[in-house]
Amino acid sequence: MFDIKSKTSMLVMLMLSAAVIVLPFIIFPICYFIIHPLKIMFIEWWHIAAILLVVSEICVGRVIYTQLKEMKKIKGIKIRSFERVVRIGIAISSVLTGVLFLWLYIQSSITGKDIVFEKGNISFLSVSILSFIGPFSFCEYFRFRKLDKMEEKFPDFLRDLAEYWRGGLSMSTAVGTLAKGEYGALTGEVKKMATQISWGVSFHQVLRMLTERMGSRLVNRSVSLIEEADKAGGSISDVLVTASNDAREIKWLQLERKRNTSTYMMIVYVSFFVYLGIVGVMAGLFIPAITGSTKELSGGGGGIGGVSVASINVPLMVFLFFCSAVVQGIGNGIVGGLMGEGKIVSGMRHAFIMVLIAWLIFVFVIYPMI
């Protein structure tokens, strides 16, 4: 049974997770009905709304992080379940924010029977795409980075545990002694293992609970290897050394993969910047120069190759170039993430960076030129 403190912490976490989802639907209507009628110069109402949303989400995220740290001190609460709730809340909030900006883009683009392609409309579309792929991908990035640091120390922990076991110490004494050491991001988990063993939980159950808390394939592989070898009647110290070597070899292979694919990631980014540069030159210099010079020579009714220059919609052409740059950025980012880390989520982080760069270049460089 949970005590009052546990129930209060769970209720606070649920309220904070709900706040992450509903914040966009509170901030944007308020800004629209209060700031939009003021017609402030040099800034749109949705700029203020976006800034307020980012600041509020950061503040709520900080409170959630602090609350999670406090909940780890309370017995009986499954922290991973709440971390999963927070991740789901961030994903839902990202989708809802993206849909909201997409709706704003559609509303601002369609004026009567015409479709307007302006800098502000591209900003709505860009923020919508960034909202879809940004928050969740960076949340997963920080989670994977922490998990990677824990996995790096796991082989050392198994090796040290085997050495203490060979020295004649009991498992509870060995783990308790190792809990006083320094294993980086894994230190907290080692202390939990020492506490569980001191309560009388078996070593195999402690390892299985460690696997459930971390959610790591590497740790699950090592624990399964230890369990199977122990069932076969092998020496526990030899089994721990074998599991340690196996985990260390896997981490080495993963590190080599990152090193070998780092060059390809550079090529992916360089190719994107080259494409963005070509598109920028065509959209910002080539098309406006052709339309301007032809109109001056022919009085506005000239044509090239049978196509009337006066009928060319320059904002539409720039918008199409922008869409091609966005597609290129998303595609390059996902491919780069798959090559480098083997995860689509990692590719979404690179895609976010590329789309953000494309948006900034079009808004601050290309559009002022046309």
Using an 8 Å Cβ cutoff, are 60 and 16 in contact? yes
Ordered DSSP codes for 123-135: HHHHHHHHHHHHH
Q: Residue 287: CB partners within 8 Å, gap ≥ 6?
A: 312, 314, 317, 318, 370
Residue percentage of the chain with pLDDT more than 70: 71
The reply to whether 21 and 8 lie within a common domain is: yes
Where is pLDDT greater, at 278 or 314?
A: 278
In terms of residue numbers, what domain contains 166?
152-252
Residue 121 lies in a domain: no
Residue 6 has pLDDT above 60, yes or no: no
Residue 176 has pLDDT above 80, yes or no: yes
Last residue of a domain, one of 252, 279, 305: 252
Predicted confidence band of residue 107 (pLDDT cuts 50, 70, 90):
confident
- Split into its structural domains, the chain has a count of 3
Where is pLDDT greater, at 18 or 113?
A: 18
The reply to whether 44 and 79 lie within a common domain is: yes
Residue 127 lies in a domain: no
How remote is the C-alpha of 115 from its chain's centroid? Answer: 33
The reply to whether 309 and 364 lie within a common domain is: yes
350 class by beta-carbon count within 10 Å (0-12 exposed, 13-18 middle, 19+ buried): buried
Predicted confidence band of residue 18 (pLDDT cuts 50, 70, 90):
low
Residue 143 lies in a domain: no
Residue 4 has pLDDT above 60, yes or no: no
The reply to whether 276 and 243 lie within a common domain is: no
Predicted confidence band of residue 292 (pLDDT cuts 50, 70, 90):
low
Give the residue-averaged pLDDT of 97-125: 73
Give the Å distances, CA to CA, from 220 to 154, 213, 278: 11, 11, 48
Where is pLDDT greater, at 54 or 305?
A: 54
Residue 266 lies in a domain: yes
Tokens of 232: 């076969």
Last residue of a domain, one of 235, 252, 269: 252
State residue 340's pLDDT score.
79
Residue 192 lies in a domain: yes
The reply to whether 308 and 289 lie within a common domain is: yes
Residue 84 lies in a domain: yes
pTM (2 decimals)?
A: 0.74
For residue 215, the 8-state DSSP code is -
Residue 1 has pLDDT above 50, yes or no: no
The reply to whether 235 and 327 lie within a common domain is: no
Residue 270 has pLDDT above 80, yes or no: yes
Residue 310 lies in a domain: yes
Last residue of a domain, one of 116, 131, 161: 116
The reply to whether 207 and 289 lie within a common domain is: no
The reply to whether 158 and 186 lie within a common domain is: yes
The reply to whether 268 and 299 lie within a common domain is: yes
Q: Of the spans 38-47, 109-118, 159-168, 271-280, which averages the highest pLDDT? A: 271-280
Taking only the tens place, the pLDDT of each residue in 210-238 is 888 888 888 888 888 888 877 776 677 88
The reply to whether 264 and 248 lie within a common domain is: no
Tokens of 320: 């199409």
State residue 115's pLDDT score.
60
The reply to whether 281 and 247 lie within a common domain is: no
Average pLDDT, rounded, for the chain: 77
Pick from 315, 306, 309: nearest CA to 291: 309
Residue 123 lies in a domain: no
Using an 8 Å Cβ cutoff, are 175 and 161 in contact? yes
Residue 354 has pLDDT above 90, yes or no: yes
Using an 8 Å Cβ cutoff, are 370 and 288 in contact? yes
State residue 64's pLDDT score.
67
State residue 351's pLDDT score.
92
